[in-house]
Chains A and B, each alone.
Chain A
Amino acid sequence: MFQLALARMREFYREPEAVFWVFGFPIVLAFALGLAFRNSGPGELQVGVAAGPGDRAVAALLDSSPQLAATVLDTATARLRLRTGRIALLVLPGDPVVYRYDSTRTESRLARLEVDDVLQRARGRTNPAAVRDDRVVAPGSRYIDFLIPGLLGMNLLGSGIWGVGFSVVQARQKKLLKRFMATPMRRSHYLLSFILSRLVFLILEVVALVGFGRLMFGVGVRGSLATLAGITILGAFAFAGLGLLVASRARTIEGVSGLMNLVMLPMWILSGTFFSYARFPDAMIPFVKALPLTALNDALRAVMIDGAALASLGAPLAIVAGWGAVSFAIALKIFRWR
């Protein structure tokens, strides 16, 4: 079994593409998303001022606010830019002043508040209550803090299913599985060798991604490292089981690729990797929460962001373990050995 696991690992690290997808890709993704959503705030809001009497004065006034950048635009250009989201709001100077914007866009509503504030103050409004801004950037509340545990979960899912699925189906397609069947090798050893080799790579994956988040963005782990390790091991086992299940019957790489996407795509979207699943309609939430990746992401975030203890994570971890155990059992039952 050790030799099988060793062979599996050698095949893996001699495949540069696979190494990139497992280690490089999540890091590149974290880097890109971390930069895109870095906490410099939304930046200057782009607003348009419709060409007409008094347009320049209004534009100059709005520009003087540090939060706004105003441009004078003719009607056609303004409409186009508004539609494509390049300006958040269009001001039509006059009496009354008209704000044209899409009220479902957060940015536009922000611009509406800011523009109105600037214009009203310029016309002489004073604030009856004195206020002061106290800005805080707390680690743990940034997007990158949300993202890193999600990427970790996604990576465990991807490498579990890809790593196991492809090698099983490839061995079956190349009749290598049949050749192994012609030796005294125990079948359970073959399946366990996947789990063993996954475990070794798991350590590297987790260290790479968590270490990167730490160094680059200062994403810390609030909970204990041992708890984090325990959760990732459980997740890796569960997804290796799922990978075996996906690969248990397929005869061709094409066939198994389709199955893998069928399994993984819904989870990437639904399980709160890139954004909170609370955005989905309430009716979907129980279903979303029953997915293994959702449960794993919840548990990882609880540990990394909230510093939760292992004992408080019983429910999500039970879901992860349940998926793993059930899919492993079914895989063992229906596995096509030749």
Chain B
Amino acid sequence: MAVAGLDLTIAAGECFGLLGPNGAGKTTTIEILEGLTAPDGGVVEVLGEPWREGAAGRALRERLGIQLQETQLAEKLTVAETLGLFRSFYRRSHTVDEVLALVELEEKRRARVATLSGGQKQRLAVACALVSRPELLFLDEPTTGLDPHSRRQLWEIIRRFRAAGGTVLLTTHYMEEAERLCDRVAIMDHGKVIALGTPRELIASLGADHVVDFALKEGGTPDDLVDILRAMGGVTAVRTGGDDISLTVVELHRALPALLALLQARGVELSLLTTHHATLDDVFVALTGRQLRDT
């Protein structure tokens, strides 16, 4: 069983993110919502309708836009032909030109799919989802494997869709993407939702807004040092992994000098020291004890 005991409600007009490492059950969840995978049990309603066979199911599909994770579009067709094909499945759709403008692929309309770059292919996949004038857009890892520029272009497309009143459900394993795009996120791990809320709420739940990572020159993480750090003022959590020590702190401007003074007093030197604002990545680490990116 890939997913168990999921209870989510997504409001019209919001952008909801399913977040988690590979294998967390994000794709299974989104495909159940898309009506492509039948759930073993439970209730699924999309736009207020349950999934049904036949005409009712097709009527519901008219209102959705879906981008799947692994679809490879026919390489021999041109961009315009591909969109024309997808357009023909819907009663009420954008014209090819309209949807090309939405994803800024106008200059590629006559290009074969095989000649497109990764980012352009992904924008075409999203265009195939947008061509139906959907009320609800499903995006399964839309930016995985893309360069930063292509990623930002896709974010812009999603923002414009939302500005026009659309609802988005997307999955991602980039926490940064979720923080930037989503009104609310559900963090998933091993088929369960382990946290749910706005990105701001989730980060606030750490009880601290900064993370300090450091490592000692001689390596290792002495137990007595960890105990002293736990007792230090302003430190809400200490985590160790390999030679790295990670502190979650409330007030960086007080905690950092205190840490340096402590290390100097012990006569040990640092081989690494970085700090950053707490992110959803840190929320994931706090909840699971694992790094999101390594998994």
Knowing A3-B88, A4-B85, A183-B132, the reply to whether A176 touches B61 (Cβ < 8 A) is no
- Asked if residues B132 and A11 are in contact (CB atoms below 8 Å), the reply is no
Residues of B within 8 A of A174 (CB): 70-73
- Asked if residues A175 and B85 are in contact (CB atoms below 8 Å), the reply is no
Residues of B within 8 A of A14 (CB): 76, 112
Whether, in the assembled complex, A338 has its beta carbon less than 8 Å from a beta carbon of chain B, the answer is: yes
- Asked if residues B71 and A184 are in contact (CB atoms below 8 Å), the reply is no
Whether, in the assembled complex, A185 has its beta carbon less than 8 Å from a beta carbon of chain B, the answer is: yes
Residues of A that sit less than 8 Å from B by CB: 2-4, 6-7, 10-11, 14-15, 171, 174-176, 178-186, 338
- Asked if residues B73 and A176 are in contact (CB atoms below 8 Å), the reply is yes
- Asked if residues A338 and B36 are in contact (CB atoms below 8 Å), the reply is yes
Cβ contact of B36, chosen from A7, A11, A178, cutoff 8 A: A178
Bound-state Cα–Cα, A281 to B85, Å: 52
Residues of A within 8 A of B64 (CB): 182
- Asked if residues A184 and B90 are in contact (CB atoms below 8 Å), the reply is yes
Bound-state Cα–Cα, A3 to B89, Å: 9
- Asked if residues B68 and A184 are in contact (CB atoms below 8 Å), the reply is no
Contacts A/B (CB < 8 Å), 19 sampled: A4-B85, A7-B77, A11-B77, A171-B74, A174-B73, A175-B68, A178-B36, A178-B68, A179-B66, A179-B68, A180-B89, A182-B66, A182-B68, A184-B62, A184-B89, A184-B90, A184-B91, A186-B58, A338-B36
Q: How far is the CB of A67 from chain B (nearest CB, A)?
A: 56
- Asked if residues A183 and B72 are in contact (CB atoms below 8 Å), the reply is no
User: Which are the 6 A-B pairs with shortest beta-carbon distances?
Assistant: A3-B88, A174-B72, A184-B58, A182-B66, A183-B89, A184-B61
For window 65-107 of B, CB contacts with A under 8 Å fall at 66, 68, 70-74, 76-77, 81, 84-91
Bound-state Cα–Cα, A180 to B72, Å: 12
Q: How far is the CB of A303 from chain B (nearest CB, A)?
A: 36
Residues of B within 8 A of A171 (CB): 74
Residue of A nearest to B63 (CB): A184
Whether, in the assembled complex, B34 has its beta carbon less than 8 Å from a beta carbon of chain A, the answer is: yes
Beyond the given A176-B72, A178-B68, please list 7 additional residue pairs across the A-B interface where CB-CB is below 8 A: A4-B88, A7-B81, A14-B112, A174-B72, A175-B70, A175-B71, A176-B73
- Asked if residues B59 and A176 are in contact (CB atoms below 8 Å), the reply is no
Q: How far is the CB of A189 from chain B (nearest CB, A)?
A: 9
Bound-state Cα–Cα, A183 to B86, Å: 8
Residues of B within 8 A of A338 (CB): 36
Bound-state Cα–Cα, A6 to B76, Å: 12
A-contact 0/1 string along B134-151, CB 8 Å cutoff: 000000000000000000
Residue of B nearest to A186 (CB): B58
Q: How far is the CB of A166 from chain B (nearest CB, A)?
A: 13
Bound-state Cα–Cα, A10 to B81, Å: 9
Residue of A nearest to B114 (CB): A14
Cβ contact of A11, chosen from B34, B70, B74, cutoff 8 A: B74
Residues of A within 8 A of B68 (CB): 175, 178-179, 182
Q: How far is the CB of A184 from chain B (nearest CB, A)?
A: 4
Bound-state Cα–Cα, A171 to B73, Å: 9
Bound-state Cα–Cα, A4 to B89, Å: 9
Residue of A nearest to B73 (CB): A176
Residue of A nearest to B86 (CB): A183
Residue of A nearest to B64 (CB): A182
